[in-house]
Amino acid sequence: MAVILHKDYKVERDDYAAAGKVSSDIKQTLNSIGYDPKVMRRIAVASYESEINMLIHAYGGDITMDIMDDGQVKLVFKDPGPGIPDLEKALTPGFSTASEKARAMGFGAGMGLPNIQRVTDDFDIQSSQDGTTLTLSFRPAK
């Protein structure tokens, strides 16, 4: 399985004005290669929620996208902290530690991570106080 397209993005700390720009580019990139619209929508939703999480819960971070020759898409969201103290709670629908600022943006309902998990084919999350890495894979529709 070879990578046919690789992209790197950066989410700057507290850059709320840019929230969603990376996910918009990811969606447009997939659209430009004629990717399946239904799977693309799932990727866009997961990417957007993850990008927002980087802003509202972490100190920004790095995002990479790899599109494989068999149509699989892999997204990695890596932030430098502060980490998620209780992963089990963070994955519980409705549980939220979001700030007023996040809520004012329309987020912080405690649906982010559960939502990402629901729309993703393979979901992996590793977190410590040094940061969180979220690895998401999507398979093309058969």
Partner 1 sequence: MKACEIAESLHAVPITLWDEDSRNTEYSAAFATDLMSDALALIQERPESVALITGLVNSQTLRTAEMLDMRFVVFVRGKYPSDETIEMAEEMGITVIATDLTMYDACGLLYQKGLGGIYGSHTA
Min CB(57)–partner 1 separation in Å: 13
Q: How many of the other CB atoms lie within 10 Å of CB of 87?
A: 14
Smaller CB separation from partner 1, 47 or 127: 47
Stretch that binds partner 1, among 2-10, 65-73, 83-91, 109-117 (CB under 8 A): 109-117
Active site residue 49: yes
Q: Residue 110: left (phi > 0), alpha (psi -120 to 50), or beta?
A: left
Q: How many of the other CB atoms lie within 10 Å of CB of 117?
A: 16
For the window 8-27, what string marks contact with partner 1 as x by the rule CB under 8 A?
Answer: ---------x-xx--xx--x
Q: Which two tokens stand for residue 81?
A: 């902290």
Active site residue 53: yes
Min CB(78)–partner 1 separation in Å: 21
Using CA atoms, how far residue 93 sits from 81, 89, 108, 111, in Å, is 22, 8, 11, 5
Among 9, 35, 77, 107, binds partner 1 (CB under 8 A): 107
Closest by CA to 60, choosing from 141, 137, 132, is 132
Q: Which two tokens stand for residue 119?
A: 């729309």
Among 9, 35, 39, 49, binds partner 1 (CB under 8 A): 49
Q: Active-site residue among 41, 103, 118, 139? A: 103
Alpha carbon distance 116, 52 (integer Å): 12
- Active-site residue set: 49, 53, 103
Query: By the criterion CB under 8 A, which residues form the site for partner 1?
Result: 17, 19-20, 23-24, 27, 37, 41, 44-45, 47-49, 52, 105-112, 114-115, 118
